[in-house]
Amino acid sequence: MSKSHRHVNKRTGALVAGAAAALVAAAVVLPHANASAERSRPPRTFSSESAARVAASLKADLGADRTAGWYMDTATRQLVMNVLSADDAKRVEAEGAVAKVVRNSASELDAATRALSAHAAIPGTAWSVDPRTNQVAVLADRTVTGAKLAALTTAVEKLGGGMASVKRSPGEFRRYDGGGGQGQGGGGGTAASPLGGSAIFGGNARCSLGFNVTVQGAPAFLTAGHCGKGSATWSADQEGGRPLGTVADARFPGSDFALVAYGDPGARPESAVDLQDGSTQQITRAAEAAVGMRVQRSGSTTGLSDGTVTGLNATVNYGNGDIVNGLIQTDVCAEPGDSGGSMFSGDAAVGLTSGGSGDCTQGGETFFQPVTKALEATGAQIGAGAGAGTGGAEGGGGGEA
């Protein structure tokens, strides 16, 4: 064999060896590439409860500085998670959620709400974090005019573009406690052990019962804190002939919940909400609210209403120093006398009616004290009596979003 032929064969052998090595490398790389593709699943539908679990896991995994809240898309029943980068979006999509890359982080939005509390404590204003717009949604009711409106606008502008927006509310923010009278709703209000949404009376005020609970085995119920601050004792009728119990704890302003201990330690009130049509909804647990969650509210003035959670970590200024923080904002209507009434989603207790703007004719905004915070602060558990649910707070909402 000539020298030139030996050179050609040597070069051909090197090419064949190189090709073989490339095939081996491809065999190693390609399975991993396929596995990565499999991890990116199409968006799936969630219940409120399952969405909350997945969102909590993603938030813990990514951290507050890389996320900016989440919400349920009510039309598609998909979980939408706000993130700050395309890489984090891939992590969200791997869980079957929809990723939305946004500008403001959760910690930045929280800082904005604190700045508003410090510089815009104006009666007739409210604000909450809205993950759908990735902004702090600021509301000003009809009493906020002139210099007050100018001060509010200036405070929002100082937060920087894209951080907050101001809208007007046509009504006037107020607490939803009312005067005496049986009201239109609250069908269980004549019972010695009423249900959620039933009328309760203290002094000259009428409010609504939120949820029956137990505290170290003793029966009690939750209602609004401003109701509990207004009267030490409560009854199921205006004349006081059907006494219920005495306030054991009341927080208002700041928060808005009260715990009333039943006077009869042997009472076994049902853990349920009056649906105002002769039927009831059993309540077995408590759940955190989520924007987009479908909810219902039962109260002694307007009966049963439904709607959607629109904001979280809301602050509302009712005037006279009555400022409440950490509330749930909704588009569910309510009126005076509905204070303390139960907001729920399926079998889950979610909120206690605090106040808002508007009425059940024209609509408006209503704010609720999170039940989970009230349970944590009082040591209470959902449910009372044999066979009733005794679950404490859980993440997620009940039922389908």
Question: Are 124 and 237 contained in the same domain?
Answer: no
Question: Are 214 and 356 contained in the same domain?
Answer: yes
Question: Are 211 and 130 contained in the same domain?
Answer: no
Q: Choose the catalytic residue: 88, 256, 322, 331.
A: 256
Residue 23, in any domain of the structure: no
Q: Choose the catalytic residue: 226, 235, 298, 338.
A: 226
Question: Are 148 and 193 contained in the same domain?
Answer: no
pLDDT of residue 184: 52
Q: Choose the catalytic residue: 128, 208, 300, 339.
A: 339
Residue 212, in any domain of the structure: yes
**Mean pLDDT, the chain, integer:** 86
Question: Are 245 and 386 contained in the same domain?
Answer: yes
For the question of residue 339 being annotated catalytic, the response is yes
For the question of residue 141 being annotated catalytic, the response is no
pLDDT of residue 65: 82
Alpha-carbon distance of 172 to 323, in angstroms, equals: 14
Question: Are 239 and 278 contained in the same domain?
Answer: yes
Each residue of 88-123: pLDDT tens digit?
A: 999 999 999 999 999 999 989 999 999 999 999 999
Residue 401, in any domain of the structure: no
pLDDT for 5 beyond 60: no
Task: Give the end of a domain, one of 127, 143, 168.
Answer: 168
Q: Which of 93-107, 130-144, 262-276, 372-386 has the lowest mean pLDDT?
A: 372-386
Residue 377, in any domain of the structure: yes
Task: Please give the average per-residue pLDDT across 159-178, as a whole number.
Answer: 93
pLDDT band at 390 (very low <50, low <70, confident <90, very high): very low
Question: Are 145 and 240 contained in the same domain?
Answer: no
Question: Are 281 and 339 contained in the same domain?
Answer: yes
Task: Give the end of a domain, one of 168, 183, 198.
Answer: 168
pLDDT for 266 beyond 70: yes
Most confident of 39-48, 243-252, 379-388: 243-252
CATH number at residue 232: 2.40.10.10
Question: Are 195 and 113 contained in the same domain?
Answer: no
Task: Please give the average per-residue pLDDT across 277-300, as a whole number.
Answer: 96
Residue 33, in any domain of the structure: no
Cα separation values, 213 from 181, 226, 265, 387, Å:
26, 19, 13, 13
pLDDT for 24 beyond 60: no
Residue 22, in any domain of the structure: no
Task: Please give the average per-residue pLDDT across 254-265, as a whole number.
Answer: 96
pLDDT of residue 39: 56
Share of the chain above pLDDT 70, in %: 82
Residue 222, in any domain of the structure: yes
pLDDT of residue 3: 46
Each residue of 170-194: pLDDT tens digit?
A: 899 999 998 766 555 444 444 446 9
Question: Are 182 and 289 contained in the same domain?
Answer: yes
Higher per-residue pLDDT: 184 or 60? 60
For the question of residue 32 being annotated catalytic, the response is no
pLDDT of residue 30: 39
CATH number at residue 152: 3.30.300.50
pLDDT for 338 beyond 60: yes
Residue 71, in any domain of the structure: yes
Total domains, the chain: 3
Share of the chain above pLDDT 90, in %: 73
Domain that holds residue 147: 106-168
Question: Are 244 and 361 contained in the same domain?
Answer: yes
pLDDT for 6 beyond 60: no
Question: Are 386 and 256 contained in the same domain?
Answer: yes
pLDDT of residue 241: 87
pLDDT for 22 beyond 60: no
pLDDT for 68 beyond 80: yes
